[in-house]
């Protein structure tokens, strides 16, 4: 009996180790700011994968307030530690909100995409849009960077993370920047549409 039990335990451990990882690498929009972490869309993503019997492990390494410069310095160590098969790169919002130089943001995002690809990861680049008060020229240039990088680096792209809720004031916390917990399933559905093709690739 003990040998049989030990066999099944070792089998389960082996299956756990075999699970490929999805790394979510973003800012407060992915870190679950203002809510219990289990309510955030990355945790909901893990639950959906499990419900569909897909052996993926979601690792959420998002940090509130993170800029592309901070992410660029942090990513190599995270890639080395986690060895993800897929990286969901969702940074840039804080660069835009702080009015940081766009060439620097482009350089940082491009470097992170290349770091992930060099580590053997498939990349889903998640874009963002800025509120209109940042000026039309800066806002247009900011948003265009994500598509330009995705095209140049041949990565998957989700143009605007908040697209499903952007016009719904009730979907945001009082700061008008961070989505509510109730809005997280909509964000998950939006991310899922772009992520699903990457899950099927060998």
Burial label for 152, CB within 10 Å (0-12, 13-18, 19+), is exposed
Is 146 domain-assigned?
Answer: yes
**Per-residue pLDDT at 201:** 79
Instruction: Look up the domain containing 149 and give its range.
Output: 19-200
**Per-residue pLDDT at 131:** 85
Confidence of residue 14 (pLDDT cuts 50, 70, 90): very low
Mean predicted confidence (pLDDT) in 5-31: 69
Tens digits of per-residue pLDDT, 100-117? 999 999 999 999 999 999
Find the catalytic residue in 28, 30, 40, 62: 28
CA distances from 86 to 95, 97, 190 (A): 24, 27, 17
Is 108 domain-assigned?
Answer: yes
Is 111 domain-assigned?
Answer: yes
Beta-carbon contacts of residue 84 (< 8 Å; ≥ 6 apart): 20, 21, 22, 23, 59, 116, 119, 121
Is 1 domain-assigned?
Answer: no
pLDDT-wise least confident of 10-24, 27-41, 96-110, 176-190: 10-24
Is 133 domain-assigned?
Answer: yes
Is 166 domain-assigned?
Answer: yes
Phi, psi of 128 (to 5 degrees): -145, 155
Domain with residue 36: its CATH number is 3.40.50.1110
Find the catalytic residue in 62, 121, 178, 190: 178
The total number of structural domains in the chain stands at 1
Confidence of residue 180 (pLDDT cuts 50, 70, 90): very high
Is 12 domain-assigned?
Answer: no
Which residues, listed in sequence order, are joined to residue 178 by a DSSP beta bridge? Answer: none
190 catalytically annotated:
no
95 catalytically annotated:
no
Is 13 domain-assigned?
Answer: no
Confidence of residue 132 (pLDDT cuts 50, 70, 90): confident
The whole-model pTM stands at 0.90
Beta-carbon contacts of residue 1 (< 8 Å; ≥ 6 apart): none
143 catalytically annotated:
no
Share of the chain above pLDDT 70, in %: 91
């Amino acid at each position: 009996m003990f040998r049989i039990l030990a066999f099944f335990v070792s089998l389960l451990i082996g299956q756990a180790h075999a699970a490929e990882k999805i790394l979510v690498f973003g800012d407060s929009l992915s870190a679950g700011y203002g809510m219990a972490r289990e309510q955030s869309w990355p945790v909901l993503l893990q639950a959906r994968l499990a419900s569909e019997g897909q052996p993926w492990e979601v690792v959420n390494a998002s940090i509130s307030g993170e800029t592309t410069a901070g992410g660029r310095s942090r990513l190599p160590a995270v890639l080395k530690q986690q060895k993800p098969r897929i990286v969901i790169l969702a940074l840039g919002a804080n660069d835009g909100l702080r009015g940081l130089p766009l060439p620097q943001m482009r350089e940082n995002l491009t470097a992170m995409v290349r770091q992930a690809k060099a580590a053997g990861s498939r990349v889903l680049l998640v874009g963002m849009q800025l509120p209109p008060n940042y000026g039309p020229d800066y806002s247009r240039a900011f948003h265009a960077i994500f598509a330009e990088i995705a095209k140049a680096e041949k990565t998957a792209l989700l143009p605007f993370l908040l697209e499903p809720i952007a016009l719904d004031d009730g979907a945001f916390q009082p700061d008008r920047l961070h989505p509510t917990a109730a809005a997280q399933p909509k964000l998950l559905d939006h991310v899922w549409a772009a992520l699903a093709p990457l899950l099927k690739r060998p």
